[in-house]
């Protein structure tokens, strides 16, 4: 998939997320007609974190988000599994969407999206 240029538009306000950025072949669908506050531009950041379970990494991520007014933060190599709850890795004012690697150590991806931005993970595209 080639990168989106400023002059390009997509049908139904969908923003493609590169497979390395989020869940392979997923799209986040933003809904501009809903009565919510949506920024005119999005500040999107991607990190290959190599363990969000590491408290130092998690603290640094929270500080990064706070200082840079990030709207969408995608993380690869989250290293999360079912033993880690969303509450443990929560960031104030953000929703988290995650896909943990099953049956192997490491891997996994997640996205933190500001709560004032309505986004839907289209799971039918992940098959």
Q: Can you tell me whether residue 65 is helix, strand or coil?
A: helix
In a domain, 7, yes or no: no
Whether residue 5 is contained in a domain is answered as no
Domain containing 53: what range? Answer: 41-114
On whether the CB atoms of residues 77 and 50 are closer than 8 A, the answer is: yes
In a domain, 60, yes or no: yes
Domain count, the chain: 1
For residue 90, being part of any structural domain is answered with: yes
Tens of pLDDT along 52-77? Answer: 999 999 999 999 999 999 999 999 99
Question: Residue 86: inside a domain, yes or no?
Answer: yes
Full-prediction pTM beyond 0.75?
no
In a domain, 61, yes or no: yes
Q: Mention every residue, 6+ apart, whose C-beta is less than 8 A from residue 53.
A: 78, 79, 80, 84
Q: Which residues of 66-92 are buried (b: 16+ CB within 10 A; e: fewer)?
A: eeeebbbbbbbbbbbbeebeeeebebe
Q: Is residue 59 part of a domain?
A: yes
- The predicted-structure confidence for 85-118, as pLDDT tens digits, reads as follows 999 999 999 999 999 998 888 999 999 999 999 8
Residue 46 lies in a domain: yes
């Amino acid at each position: 998939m080639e990168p989106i240029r400023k002059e390009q538009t997509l049908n139904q306000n969908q923003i493609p997320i590169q497979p390395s950025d989020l869940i392979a072949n997923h799209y986040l669908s933003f809904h501009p007609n809903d009565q919510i506050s949506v920024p005119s531009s999005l500040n999107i950041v991607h990190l290959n974190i190599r363990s969000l379970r590491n408290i130092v990494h998690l603290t640094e991520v929270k500080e990064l988000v706070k200082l840079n007014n990030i709207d969408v933060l995608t993380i690869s190599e989250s290293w999360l599994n079912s033993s880690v709850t969303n509450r443990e890795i929560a960031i104030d004012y953000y929703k988290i969407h995650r896909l943990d690697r099953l049956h192997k150590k490491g891997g996994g991806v997640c996205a933190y999206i500001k709560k004032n931005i309505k986004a839907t993970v289209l799971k039918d595209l992940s098959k």
